[in-house]
């Protein structure tokens, strides 16, 4: 279809949608959608993150929410091209409600809507001071009471948390907390980040020395400040640490280092938290209205319990505490686990001259880095994507526009291509005894990440060491017990060990809520992460969105923010707007508050 005809076809669909919404004819709105249809809303209509599946769910949402957001207008973004390929009409849309402006994406089949994405971009009257609204900075004229920028910053830093209270307290100063605080700063929401380490970025610096990003640079930008064009594709951990530290200064974040949150309690009557923080050895009581746990999507380290751990005479620690390989040259090391951290740690130990054995207790999905970048990410996050006009914002929204319910069916063909391209590589891995999988349904890495956040390795070289035997492998078995100097497997194999590394993953983020607040609150909120896909480590029922992430929870004024750099960047926008709306007293009516089906 020619561009003008495609534009007209999309305009006609949007005109019918606007008319039905204007007439408050909810049944007419539903009839504009295919029988199999999906409306993914990020805050704009629901004040929540919700995917509505089918006419019934769309009707129910509009019956509850339309009166709160009307008048509503959908319009085609005239700056973007409407595509029409194989009968599928796709376009970018601008949306306006009575309180907000939004942006989204639409897919239309046979004149009816198949998928609809609506996202909140800004709150009316509370727009970010950017572009034509950017602050002047310099204060022209003369005044005897003038304060310099530095004096204002120093006064703010001295008073916030003492004479004045933050509206939002963010526990955790990694990329998630930093990205959210940057968004809140631009929205004029007073916030403090609490970080236990001595410097911003230490959560990266203090990990094992071979750690680097396995996601490419185009996927990993922070809000407002993209990485420079000469930034490496896969950044080493210390370089990321320095970037985060720089970012906190440039973005003027209130970042409390060497600070530990000791306890938190929600005061129902006052509508605020009472949080005790030990800052540089001195207790401080903070009273924020909103509390955000940005302690990492992975949650608390998951350390297995095996008989004999108390008798073992060597070292043992979780992968999150692994200092690196330097002290273990010539030593016997057993690494329990076979996912990203396990591979990275094993490879670094081998390079340092250790005798290292990987114990693989369950199957792992492997994808080679170059292949993933080419087939899995290249269309959205690459130099070629940029050349084709695919900005970071558009890439994020394109990815978000595909509902999780049908995402797997789009991923399966991509991973079939990867399996075919690297068939010889996989044959060698299996011949070495490695247990491979492609996800429960063959949908590969991204779905595994979204469903369970574990179970995969992006290969940057460790697999070749397994194939040639440099990293020894014990698979199809588990640990029976530890002795004074060895790990004994259920297969009967004794592995001499000076060090045992538990690369055994992490628990749910609400484990931090149990530690900081109470087990009761943690169970009230329930498990974080996962879609309810009823696949391995992601029990049903189906949720359609990440459990409890970036949205209201069953505990008033408690939020969870985490994920990789991409998610920290993208979803911090929606969390910051939800917090801003509450700060300024906008009428917020949440639709479809997350139910609790799993507590841990």
pLDDT: which is higher, 139 or 522 = 522
The CATH code belonging to domain 315-502 is 3.50.50.60
Q: Which of 414, 430, 318, 463 is nearest to 363 (CA)?
A: 430
Domain ranges of the chain: 1-123, 150-300+507-532+546-584, 315-502
Cβ-proximal residues to 438 (8 Å cutoff; 6+ apart), any chain: 365, 415, 419, 444
Distances (CA, A) of 552 to 547, 549, 578: 10, 8, 9
Task: Give percent above pLDDT 70 in the chain.
Answer: 99
Structure confidence at residue 142 (pLDDT): 83
Helix (H) or strand (E) holding 472: strand 472-475
Q: Which residues pair with 407 in a beta bridge?
A: none
Cis previous bond, 338, omega within 30: no
pLDDT: which is higher, 323 or 186 = 186
Structure confidence at residue 299 (pLDDT): 64
Q: Which of 186, 72, 71 is nearest to 133 (CA)?
A: 186
pLDDT at 1 over 60: no
CB 229 within 8 A of CB 186: no
Structure confidence at residue 143 (pLDDT): 83
Q: Measured between alpha carbons, how far is 548 from 528 in angstroms, rounded to an integer?
A: 5
In this structure, the number of other CB atoms found within 10 A of the CB of residue 206 comes to: 18
Q: Looking at the domain 150-300+507-532+546-584, which fold is it? A: FAD/NAD(P)-binding domain (3.50.50)
Q: Which CATH class, in words, describes the domain spanning 1-123?
A: alpha beta
Q: Measured between alpha carbons, how far is 525 from 102 in angstroms, rounded to an integer?
A: 29
pLDDT at 296 over 80: no
Q: Do domains 150-300+507-532+546-584 and 315-502 have the same CATH topology?
A: yes
Task: Give percent above pLDDT 90 in the chain.
Answer: 89
The DSSP 8-state label assigned to residue 375 in this structure reads I
pLDDT digits (tens, 9 = 90+) for 219-274: 999 999 999 999 999 999 999 999 999 999 999 999 999 999 999 999 999 999 99
What the block records as the tokens of 122 is 């800004």
Structure confidence at residue 589 (pLDDT): 97
pLDDT digits (tens, 9 = 90+) for 187-210: 999 999 999 999 999 989 988 777
Confidence of residue 298 (pLDDT cuts 50, 70, 90): low
Q: Which of 132, 119, 240, 164 is nearest to 576 (CA)?
A: 119
Confidence of residue 300 (pLDDT cuts 50, 70, 90): confident
pLDDT digits (tens, 9 = 90+) for 366-411: 999 999 999 999 999 999 999 999 999 999 999 999 999 999 999 9
Token pair 């991409």 in the structure block, residue: 566
Structure confidence at residue 137 (pLDDT): 82
Average pLDDT over residues 479-488: 97
Q: Measured between alpha carbons, how far is 495 from 336 in angstroms, rounded to an integer?
A: 12
Confidence of residue 3 (pLDDT cuts 50, 70, 90): confident
pLDDT at 599 over 60: yes
Q: Measured between alpha carbons, how far is 72 from 96 in angstroms, rounded to an integer?
A: 6
Q: Measured between alpha carbons, how far is 514 from 599 in angstroms, rounded to an integer?
A: 11
Mean pLDDT estimate for the chain: 95
């Amino acid at each position: 279809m020619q561009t003008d005809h495609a534009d007209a076809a999309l305009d006609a669909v949007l005109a019918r949608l606007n008319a039905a919404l204007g007439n408050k004819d909810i049944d007419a709105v539903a009839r504009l959608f295919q029988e199999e249809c999906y409306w993914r809303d990020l805050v704009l209509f629901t004040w929540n993150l919700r995917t509505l599946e089918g006419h019934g769910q769309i009707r129910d949402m509009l019956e509850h929410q339309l009166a709160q957001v009307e008048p509503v207008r959908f319009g085609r973004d005239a700056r973007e091209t409407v595509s029409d390929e194989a009968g599928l009409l796709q376009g970018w849309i601008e949306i306006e409600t009575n309180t907000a402006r939004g942006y989204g994406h639409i897919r239309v089949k046979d004149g009816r809507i198949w998928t609809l994405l609506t996202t909140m971009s800004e709150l009316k009257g509370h727009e970010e001071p950017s572009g034509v609204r950017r602050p002047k900075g310099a204060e022209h004229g003369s005044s005897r009471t003038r304060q310099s920028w530095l004096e204002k910053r120093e006064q703010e830093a001295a008073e916030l948390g003492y004479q004045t209270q933050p509206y939002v307290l963010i526990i955790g100063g990694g990329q998630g907390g930093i990205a959210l605080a940057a968004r809140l700063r631009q929205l004029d929401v007073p916030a403090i980040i609490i970080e236990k380490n001595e410097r911003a970025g230490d959560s990266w610096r203090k990990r094992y020395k071979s750690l680097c990003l396995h996601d490419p640079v185009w996927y990993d930008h922070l809000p407002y400040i993209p990485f420079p064009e000469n930034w490496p594709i896969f950044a080493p951990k210390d370089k990321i640490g320095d970037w985060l530290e720089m970012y906190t200064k440039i973005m003027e974040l209130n970042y409390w280092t060497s600070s530990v949150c000791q306890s938190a309690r929600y005061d129902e009557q006052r509508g605020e938290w009472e949080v005790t923080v030990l800052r540089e050895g001195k207790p401080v009581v903070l009273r924020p209205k909103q509390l955000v746990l940005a302690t990492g999507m992975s949650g608390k380290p998951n350390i297995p319990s095996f008989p004999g751990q108390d008798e073992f005479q060597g070292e043992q620690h979780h992968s999150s505490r692994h200092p690196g390989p330097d002290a273990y040259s010539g030593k016997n090391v057993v690494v329990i686990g076979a996912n990203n951290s396990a591979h990275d740690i094993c490879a670094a130990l081998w390079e340092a001259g250790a005798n290292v054995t990987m114990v693989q207790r369950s199957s792992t999905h492997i994808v080679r880095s170059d292949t993933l970048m080419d087939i899995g990410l290249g269309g959205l996050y690459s130099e070629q994507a940029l050349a084709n006009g695919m900005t970071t914002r558009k890439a994020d929204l394109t990815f978000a526009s595909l509902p999780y319910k049908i995402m797997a069916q789009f991923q399966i063909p991509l991973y079939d291509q990867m399996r075919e391209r690297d068939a010889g590589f996989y044959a060698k891995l299996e011949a070495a005894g490695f247990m491979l999988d492609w996800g429960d349904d063959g949908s590969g890495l991204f779905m595994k990440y979204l469903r369970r956040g574990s179970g995969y390795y992006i290969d940057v070289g460790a697999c070749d060491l397994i194939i040639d035997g440099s990293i020894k492998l014990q698979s199809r078995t588990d640990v029976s017990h530890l002795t004074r100097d060895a790990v004994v497997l259920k297969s009967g194999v004794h592995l001499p060990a000076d060090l045992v590394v538990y690369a055994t993953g992490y628990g749910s983020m609400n484990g931090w809520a149990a530690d900081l607040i109470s087990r009761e609150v943690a169970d009230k909120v329930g498990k974080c992460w996962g879609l309810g896909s009823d696949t391995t480590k992601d029990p049903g029922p189906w949720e359609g969105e990440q459990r409890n992430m970036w949205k209201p929870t069953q505990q008033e004024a408690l939020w969870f923010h985490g994920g990789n750099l991409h998610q920290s960047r993208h979803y911090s926008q929606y969390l910051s707007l939800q917090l801003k709306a509450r700060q300024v007293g906008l009428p917020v009516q949440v639709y479809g508050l997350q139910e609790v089906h799993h507590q841990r």
